[in-house]
Amino acid sequence: MSVPPLQALPLELLRQRSSTKWRSYGDDVIPMFVAETDFALAPAITAALQRAVEIGDTGYTPPRPGIDLDFADYAERLWGWRPDTARIRWTGDVMMGVVEVLRAVTAPGDRVVVTPPVYPPFYDTVEEAGAVVERVPLVDDGERWSLDLDGIERALADGARSVLLCNPHNPTGTVHSRESLAALARLAHRYGATVVSDEIHAPLTHAPAVFTPFLDAAPEAAAVGYTVTSASKTYNLAGLKCAVIVTGSEETAAVVRALPWEVEWRAGLFGVIANRAAFAPDSDEWLEGLLAALDHNRRLLADLLAEHLPLARYRTPDAGFLAWVDVSAYGWGDNPAPFIRREAKVALHHGPLFGEEGVGHVRINVGCDPEVLRDAVERIGRLAVAAGADAGGSPIVERSLVASEDR
């Protein structure tokens, strides 16, 4: 029996939150920029945190908090992959883990491949680690995005020392195929490089797409790979600091064990408690409901764009609750988000921050009530009408979901 979609909390309650999403702009703005969702926490997480508060469990994170076993169980249930618990460590958040791994596997000035358009902190993280960003954009074949394996090989052959992978990809929502990830692992192994894989959106993969953990993609992946992930995006726990760093070989595990002890101490106790509750089987039904709600909204966005912004380009994402939309046809500038926020009172993420491939784009958070999503797109659509744009032309909405089902 299918689980019904989660219902988003009412706006009047959400506006009582004190997080970035709800405190960056006034109540006249619909916030759809940062990656926070509008649902109640999974009941198991709420219960675990409430119990911690009741007993004053607010001290230091213990040296063996148990999250290694919980994550291994979770990965086995969701993806049929069981990492060795002895090769799972923890830290404060995914980007914190990424920068520490990059510091360990690169030298100052080494080049690290990123695949734009990509999550803006990737650029900052590489620089924080003392390395240099090497851009190898995703390939766009008109139907979907994929890794430019030829471009990555050229970069590695020319001396790049690591690849910072987004798997699934933010902002496009692309779930990289097992074949593509295996090929990347073999390239890194051939050139003596490493792959650091951010897999924070993995639990949000929508059928028929299938998520492949990088470390499970090929035998070579275990030798070159480092995975950093967390329950924070899926379960809306970004303010509770905790992530896991996973390796697949004794050599890579030794690199992580050699990181400064403070790396593990950065994980907050409430973050550990919440992540463990998220990874527990008690939260699986909540996740099913979330996926049902997000699946509805990713499809709804296609319909709303076709109706109100028919010149926009959008491909239904394979994973996540973030939609990558090209609105350049409307002439709202290289960075349309400030104009849309000012004139339509809808806050979207700035496309150019994801790389030059984001010129004319916005990222829209669809982890909300369908009526909020409808209101936001209708507001933006009125801008197009007011500007005299042709709102009656043929829609340019690319439905990769339909295409993938046809294949």
pTM, entire model: 0.94
Mean pLDDT taken over the chain: 94
**Does residue 142 register a pLDDT over 80?**
yes
Contact 165, 196 (CB under 8 A): yes
The CA-atom distances, in angstroms, between 297 and each of 7, 21, 238, 403 are: 12, 19, 22, 18
Q: Tokens 């790979």 appear where?
A: 225
DSSP state of 191: T
pLDDT for res 407: 23
- Supply the pLDDT for residue 1: 62
Tell me whether strands 243-247 and 225-229 are parallel, antiparallel or unpaired.
Answer: antiparallel
C-alpha gyration radius of the chain: 21
DSSP character string of 340-396: HHHHH-EEEEEGGGG-GGGTTEEEEE--S-HHHHHHHHHHHHHHHHHTT--TTS---
Around Cβ 245, how many Cβ atoms within 10 Å? 27
Q: Give the pLDDT confidence score for residue 131 in this predicted structure.
A: 98
Mean of pLDDT values over 354-376? 98
Question: Residue for token digits 């912004």?
Answer: 309
DSSP secondary structure code for residue 194 in this structure: E
pLDDT band at 387 (very low <50, low <70, confident <90, very high): confident
> For 71, how many CA atoms within 13 A lie in the half-sphere containing its CB?
31
Strands 313-314 and 243-247: unpaired
Beta-strand ranges (E) seen in 152-307 are 162-166, 194-198, 225-229, 243-247
In this predicted model, what pLDDT tens digit does every residue of 300-332 receive, in sequence order? 999 999 999 999 999 999 999 999 999 999 999
Q: Quick check: 180 pLDDT over 50?
A: yes
What would the pLDDT profile of 44-101 be if each residue is shown by its tens digit?
999 999 999 999 999 999 999 999 999 999 999 999 999 999 999 999 999 999 999 9
Q: Where are the beta strands (DSSP E) in 136-191?
A: 139-140, 145-146, 162-166
What stretches of 218-308 adopt beta strand conformation (E)?
225-229, 243-247
Query: Residue 326 is encoded by which pair of tokens?
Result: 């090209």
What are the residues facing 164 on neighbouring strands?
196
According to DSSP, residue 4 is labeled: P
User: Among candidates 250, 261, 247, 256, which has minimal Cα distance to 213?
Assistant: 247
End-to-end CA distance of the chain: 26
Q: In the beta sheet, which residues pair with residue 325?
A: 314, 362
**For the residues 10-27, what does the mean pLDDT come to?**
98
pLDDT band at 386 (very low <50, low <70, confident <90, very high): confident
Q: What is the mean pLDDT of residues 325-353?
A: 98
Distance in angstroms (rounded) separating the CA atoms of residues 220 and 248: 10
* CA atoms of 189 and 77, how far apart (whole Å): 29
Beta bridge partners of 132: 111
The tokens for 233 are: 């995006």
Instruction: Tally the residues of the chain.
Output: 407
- Of residues 120 and 401, the one with the higher pLDDT is 120
